């Protein structure tokens, strides 16, 4: 999920531009679950979204990746 081949170069990987999160709850009971990632198209006119799971409730939030030590982003 976190990396894909860059079609412009050989054998290099490209980290996602955004991480997809499913956000449920509100206020101090908000839960963030990583559900996928997003990469820009080569022509810069769109994004490809790869979801590992489909959420049935809450909302999908796209955020820029942060260091792997962070379990989830801060509330938006």
What is the spatial distance between Cα 9 and Cα 60, in angstroms, rounded to a whole number?
Answer: 31
The pLDDT assigned to 21 comes to 97
Give the pLDDT mean for 50-65: 95
The pLDDT assigned to 12 comes to 43
Q: What is the pTM of this model?
A: 0.69
**What DSSP letter does each residue of the chain carry, written as one string?**
---EE-TTSSS-EE--SEEEEEEES-GGG-EEEEEEEEEE-TTSS-EEEEESS--SSSEEEEE----TT-SSPPP-
| 7-56 pLDDT, tens digit each | 443 334 689 999 999 999 988 899 999 999 999 999 999 999 999 999 99
Partners of 49 in the beta sheet?
A: 38
């Amino acid at each position: 999920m976190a990396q894909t081949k860059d079609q412009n170069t050989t054998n290099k990987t490209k980290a996602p531009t955004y991480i997809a999160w499913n956000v449920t709850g509100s206020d101090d009971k908000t839960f963030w679950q990583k559900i996928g990632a997003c990469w820009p198209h080569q022509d810069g006119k769109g994004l490809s979204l790869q979801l590992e799971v489909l959420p049935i409730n809450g909302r999908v939030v796209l955020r820029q990746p942060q260091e792997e030590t962070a379990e989830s982003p801060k509330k938006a």
